[in-house]
Homo-oligomer: A and B are copies of this chain.
Amino acid sequence: MSNNMTQDEKPMSNLSPLLEPRSVAVIGASKNVDKIGYKILKNIVDAGFEGKIFPINPRGGEILGLQAFASILDVPDEIDVAVIVVPAKFIPSIIEECVRKEVKGAVIISSGFRDIGPEGIVLENQILETAAKSELRIIGPNCQGVSNPQIGFCATWPLVENVGNVAIISQSGTIALEIPSFLSRNRLGYSKAIALGNKSDVDEADLIAMLTEDEMTSVIAVYSEGMKDGRKLMAAIKQASRTKPVIFLKAGKTEAGKKAVLAHTGSLAGNREVFEAAVKQSGGIYVNDLQELCDTAKAFSTCPTPRGNRLMVITSSGGSGILASDAGEDVGLKLSKLSDETVEALRNQLPSYCVIRNPLDLTGNALNNVQLYTDALKIVLEEKDVDLVLVIFGDPILGASDSLKELTDKASAQNIPVVVSFLGGADVQVLESEKLQKNGVPVYPTPGRAIKALGNMKKYWKIRKKESGK
A326 at the binding interface (Cβ < 8 Å): yes
B181 touches A289 (CB 8 A): no
B318 touches A178 (CB 8 A): no
- Per-residue CB contact flags for chain A residues 347-362 toward chain B (1 = under 8 Å, else 0) read 0000001010101010
Q: Which one of B177, B253, B322 contacts A426 once the chains associate, using CB atoms below 8 Å? A: B177
- Per-residue CB contact flags for chain A residues 163-194 toward chain B (1 = under 8 Å, else 0) read 00000001111111110111011000000000
Question: What is the distance, in angstroms, from A213's C-beta to the closest C-beta of chain B?
Answer: 27
Q: Is the interface of A mostly helix, strand, loop or mixed?
A: helix
B429 touches A181 (CB 8 A): yes
A335 touches B256 (CB 8 A): yes
Question: What is the distance, in angstroms, from A89's C-beta to the closest C-beta of chain B?
Answer: 14
| Nearest B residue to A424, CB-CB | B174
A263 touches B173 (CB 8 A): no
* A259 contact set on B, CB distance < 8 A: 325
A329 touches B446 (CB 8 A): no
A445 at the binding interface (Cβ < 8 Å): yes
Complex CA gap A177/B173 in Å reads 37
Q: Which one of B289, B327, B395 contacts A448 once the chains associate, using CB atoms below 8 Å? A: B289
A interface, size bucket: 35 or more
- Per-residue CB contact flags for chain A residues 418-438 toward chain B (1 = under 8 Å, else 0) read 000001111111100000000
| Nearest B residue to A430, CB-CB | B185
B427 touches A158 (CB 8 A): yes
Question: What is the distance, in angstroms, from A24's C-beta to the closest C-beta of chain B?
Answer: 21
B329 touches A256 (CB 8 A): yes
A364 at the binding interface (Cβ < 8 Å): yes
B319 touches A170 (CB 8 A): yes
| Nearest B residue to A253, CB-CB | B326
| Nearest B residue to A289, CB-CB | B448
A368 at the binding interface (Cβ < 8 Å): yes
Residues of A bordering B, CB below 8 Å: 34, 36, 111, 144, 157-160, 170-178, 180-182, 184-185, 223, 225, 251-257, 259-261, 263-265, 289-291, 294, 316-323, 325-330, 335, 353, 355, 357, 359, 361, 363-364, 367-368, 394-396, 423-430, 445-449
What are 27 of the A-B contact pairs (CB < 8 Å)?
Answer: A34-B368, A144-B364, A157-B395, A157-B396, A158-B396, A158-B428, A159-B426, A172-B319, A173-B317, A173-B364, A173-B424, A175-B319, A178-B423, A178-B424, A180-B426, A181-B424, A181-B425, A181-B426, A225-B319, A225-B322, A252-B326, A256-B325, A257-B323, A264-B318, A264-B321, A290-B446, A291-B448
